Amino acid sequence: MVIARKIGAWIATACLLTAGLAMSGQAMADGGRGTKAQPAQDTQMGVWFSGVDAVKDATYWFDGVIVAFNRDISKDGWALRAYGSRVDFDQDPTGDGRGWQGDLMLGYLFHRNAFSGGIYLGADYQNYKLSPDDPTTSVRGAEWGLKVAADVATSDDRPLYFSLAGSYSTAFDSYWTRARLGHNLNRVVYGIEGQAFGNEDFNAQRLGGFLTFQVPLRPNLPLEVTLAAGHQFVNESSSSSDSTSTGGSAGTYGTIVFSTTF
């Protein structure tokens, strides 16, 4: 399990380095000039996303928003990200648990010819309650932590789609990473995905597929929908008790995510 957490942290670090290299590489190409502002129509200041993820013995809901300080999320600049989630999970053989998480992070958004993404740093809060209580598990009660996150993806007009996202929090030593590779056909993107995530008591990996498409809400403001499904593999717990699994059990998973700009 320690090895799995280290691998997750390495992937998150790779995501941060990839984002940083994309930013620094473009800065060198621009010769220090920076991104030149162009007249824009119907500019959007932020993006909202929400979804639900279900696997055997666990259901996870989440909501998030990213707001650009320059009021144009399509340009380079500082941004604020707020994210919250709730998970309901079963304990074996009887009982259940519930967890809440929230983070607030300052970030920097970047947009290049081939890539776009962001890097974030801030505070993270997590709180897990078990019924009946299990004092032998490490992931229990409330804990604050420092959180870092990053994401990078190819531009919408590229036929080959690639994205890499990850985060790490010192609260319960939590990490999450995901890589996607697919084909972009008129902004309908489909392909394969791999994930690795966990905390002090739980580690899992996923392999599956995804489909992203847009539903028009009004002109120049579509609702983006992403569907994903596959299989989750779970490692053995390293705690003294194997009764708690905040991320569910091995088996089929399914995810649906909605997002839109505003």
Question: In this structure, what CATH number is given to the domain that contains residue 156?
Answer: 2.40.160
In a domain, 223, yes or no: yes
pLDDT of 154 above 60: yes
The residue to which tokens 């966990």 are assigned: 198
In a domain, 134, yes or no: yes
Please, are residues 58 and 247 in contact by the beta-carbon 8 Å criterion?
Answer: yes
Q: Which residue has the higher pLDDT, 13 or 192?
A: 192
In a domain, 164, yes or no: yes
In a domain, 56, yes or no: yes
pLDDT of residue 6: 47
Confidence band (pLDDT; 50, 70, 90) for 254?
very high
In a domain, 210, yes or no: yes
Write out the two tokens for 259. Answer: 């997002």
How high does pLDDT run on average in the chain? 86
In a domain, 247, yes or no: yes
- Residues 177-197 have a mean pLDDT of 96
Q: How many structural domains comprise the chain?
A: 1
Q: Which residue has the higher pLDDT, 24 or 45?
A: 45
> Model-level pTM?
0.83
- What is d(CA 25, CA 109) in angstroms, rounded to the nearest whole number? 15
Confidence band (pLDDT; 50, 70, 90) for 5?
low
In a domain, 39, yes or no: no
In a domain, 151, yes or no: yes
pLDDT of residue 92: 72
Beta strand spans in the chain (E)? 46-55, 58-68, 77-90, 96-111, 115-131, 141-154, 160-169, 174-185, 188-199, 202-218, 221-234, 251-261
Write out the two tokens for 255. Answer: 């995810």
Domain that holds residue 232: 2-34+44-261
How do residues 113-139 score in pLDDT, each as one tens digit?
899 999 999 999 999 999 999 888 899
Residues 6+ apart with CB under 8 A from 192: 180, 181, 182, 207, 208, 209, 210
Straight-line distance from the first to the last Cα atom of the chain, in angstroms, rounded to the nearest whole number: 41
- What is d(CA 121, CA 173) in angstroms, rounded to the nearest whole number? 16
| Lowest model confidence (mean pLDDT) among 13-22, 180-189, 213-222, 247-256 | 13-22
pLDDT of 148 above 90: yes
- Residues 51-78 have a mean pLDDT of 97
